[in-house]
A and B are shown apart, each in its own frame.
Chain A
Amino acid sequence: AQSVAQPEDQVNVAEGNPLTVKCTYSVSGNPYLFWYVQYPNRGLQFLLKYITGDNLVKGSYGFEAEFNKSQTSFHLKKPSALVSDSALYFCAVKAEAGGFKTIFGAGTRLFVKA
C-alpha cells in the first residue's frame, strides 16, 4: 500500500535561512513524487515533481527537492526562506505501475519569521 509520512507538523525558520520540509514514502515499484503548497483558504498549488531522471528537481518559487531512493525520501528544500513561504506543504506519492490515486501526507506547516 502507498503511504507518505511528513514527520513534522510544523517547521519554524528565520527569514533568509535555509529550510527543509521532510517527506518519506512507501510505494510498490517506482514512485511519482510531488510537493504541493496550500495557502489559507486556497487550493493546492503544484511546486515540483519527481518522475524520472535527475534526483534533484527544481520547482516553483525557488524550491527544490531531492529524491533519495535508498532512504525513500523526498525532502523539500529552499536555500533562503521568505516570510511569504509560510504555508501548509503537502508531499504526495503515486505508484508508477497501475493505480490512479495520489496519496498525500498529513502536511507540514511552515512558519517563516521575519
Chain B
Amino acid sequence: EPEVTQTPSHQVTQMGQEVILRCVPISNHLYFYWYRQILGQKVEFLVSFYNNEISEKSEIFDDQFSVERPDGSNFTLKIRSTKLEDSAMYFCASSEMSGGPTYEQYFGPGTRLTVT
C-alpha cells in the first residue's frame, strides 16, 4: 500500500538555525499538507499546497515558515530561524483530491524537531 514518508525521523537543531523537513507524498496525490503537534497537545494545521502554491495557511504559518515542492516527488517545510517553541512533531499529509466522497488525507510518520 502506498504511504507518505518523511525524513528525518528526528532532527535536533540549535535555536536560530534553519531546518528543512522533507516529505515524499503518495505519487498520484495533488494536495499536500503540513501539520504540527507540540508534545502532549493537539494536532494543528499549518499549511496546504496545491498546484505549486499555498492554498491555505494558518496563523501559525508565519514568515519563518515556507514550503516548496522542489521536484516531482518531494515536499519540504523550511523553518528559517528556529525558536524553542518550534519543537514539535511535524506531520506531512497528502490527498488525491480536496474533497468528494472518497476524500482522505494520508499522514506520514512525522519528524520530531527538537530545538535546543
Chain A residues with a Cβ under 8 A of chain B: 32, 34, 36, 42-44, 46, 49, 51-53, 90, 92, 94, 96-97, 99-107
Contact = CB atoms under 8 A, between A and B. Distances in A.
A104 B48 CA distance: 15
Contacts, number: 62
Given A43-B108, A46-B107, A103 B99 contact: no
B12 interface: no
A68 B82 CA distance: 43
Interface residues of B, number: 27
Interface string B24-53: 000000010101000001111100101000
A99 B56 contact: yes
A57 B115 CA distance: 41
Given A49-B104, A100-B48, A101-B45, A43 B109 contact: yes
Contacts of A96: 99
Contacts of A92: 43
A32 B44 contact: no
Contacts of B106: 46
A86 to B, nearest CB: 16
B4 to A, nearest CB: 9
Contacts of A53: 101
Contact of A51 (B31, B33, B103, B110): B103
B14 interface: no
7 contacts: A36-B107, A49-B104, A94-B99, A99-B56, A100-B98, A101-B45, A104-B43
Given A51-B100, A97-B99, 17 more contacts: A36-B107, A43-B110, A44-B107, A49-B103, A51-B103, A90-B42, A94-B99, A94-B103, A96-B99, A100-B31, A100-B33, A101-B56, A102-B35, A102-B45, A104-B35, A105-B42, A107-B42
A104 B105 CA distance: 13
A20 to B, nearest CB: 20
Report the 3 A-B pairs with minimum CB-CB distance, sorted nearest first: A100-B48, A43-B109, A101-B45
A103 B101 CA distance: 18
B48 A44 contact: no
